[in-house]
Structure 1
Amino acid sequence: MVQKGQFLERATLVPVGREVMEGTAHRGAKAPPLLVLPPRPDEGGGMDHVIASELVWAAANAGFPTLRFNHRGVGASQGSRGKDLALLEDAEAAMRMLMENAGTSALAVAALHGGAQVALALQAKHPSVGGLCLVAPADIAPEVLSRVACPLLVVMGEQDARLSRAKVAAAVAQAGGDLEVIDDAGASFQRNLPQVGRAVAAWLRRLSGG
């Protein structure tokens, strides 16, 4: 039994064609639900990434449903590791499941590191992505952020030099989004990780109109 104030994600299976991906979900009463995309498999990341854990904890404690998952071929997910289109298909399957479970027609998406590539493709293809958050984005051209057509939040560590901060700031401003820089933190947020969770929870509350 879950006690008051206790955080408990439930294991879930996300079907992708004839295969299934492993995931964990947390219920919530508020909208939009939050889908967390892990780093790309070629980065060695999965749903148990420490940043993913922080995001779902912060979102769930703010009352928002969450879902995180492992791409096919990662962890206990079936299938072989894919690239580009296959990763997008994985994200689409998780997106459909989350919206169905939450009973909503829109959701927010948060992506970690190179998962930004997948998140941007998902948002460009699906109007149901009503908010996009990129945490420590990597392997993208900052200029593409200017074309994001939904509420955008980018969270970067102060010491993360993988992307030009000036170019990211300019592109995010052009999109009408927000850039959150976490003091004294790098790309892995070994310092001040709770600030990332608080920033994303506050962003979700703005999306919900709260």
Structure 2
Amino acid sequence: MVQKGQFLERSTLVPVGAEVMEGTAHRGKRAPPLLIIPPRPDEGGGMDHVIAAELAWAAASAGFPTLRFNHRGVGASQGKRGKDLALLEDAEAAMRVLLETAGTSAVAVASLHGGAQVALALQARFPSVGGLCLVAPADVDPAVLGRVTCPLLVVQGEGDGRMPRASVSAAVARAGGEFEVIDDAGATFQRNLPQVGHALSTWLQRLSGG
């Protein structure tokens, strides 16, 4: 039995076409629920990434439902590893599961590293993405960030030089979003990881209106 205050994610199956992806979910009563998109498979990442775990814990601790998943061909997810459109299809399938289980019409989406490509494509295609958080985004043209039409949060480590900070900051400002730089941290946040979770939790609470 789960005691009050305990954090327990439950295994979840995410159907995508004829195949099934593995995921883990946490219940919550606040909206919007949070979909966590892992790094792209070619980056070697999955839903068990330490940053994904931190985001799930931070969101769930604040009362928001969460779902994180492994793309097809990663971990115990069925199928072959895909690229671009296939990854978008995976994220769409996970989003639909979260919308159904949480009983909402909109979700917030958080991505890690190259998963930003998938998150941005999902937001551009589906109005049900009501908020976008990109953690340590990579391989994205900063100008694309300026065209995001929903509430946007970008979190970057102070020592992460993969995307130019000035360009990212300017693009996020054009979108009316928020840009958070974590001091003394790199792309993997081996230092000050809890600050990433705090930034996400605070942002989600603003989205919820409370």
TM-score, with length taken from structure 1:
1.00
Match of 1:180 in 2: 180
Measured in 2, the distance between the counterparts of 1:196 and 1:140 equals 20
Q: Which amino acid aligns with 1:40?
A: R
Match of 1:70 in 2: 70
Match of 1:190 in 2: 190
Measured in 2, the distance between the counterparts of 1:38 and 1:191 equals 20
Deviations 1:97-120 (A, max 9, x none): 000000000000000000000000
User: 1:1-210 counterparts in 2 under 5 A?
Assistant: 1-210=1-210
C-alpha root-mean-square deviation of aligned residues, in Å? 0.3
Residue-pair matches, total: 210
Deviations 1:28-54 (A, max 9, x none): 000000000000000000000000000
Structure 1: which 5+ runs fail to align?
none
- Counting aligned pairs with the same residue, the percent is 82
Measured in 2, the distance between the counterparts of 1:99 and 1:75 equals 24
Deviations 1:177-209 (A, max 9, x none): 000000000000000000000000000000000
Measured in 2, the distance between the counterparts of 1:93 and 1:189 equals 29
Measured in 2, the distance between the counterparts of 1:18 and 1:82 equals 15
Measured in 2, the distance between the counterparts of 1:37 and 1:146 equals 21
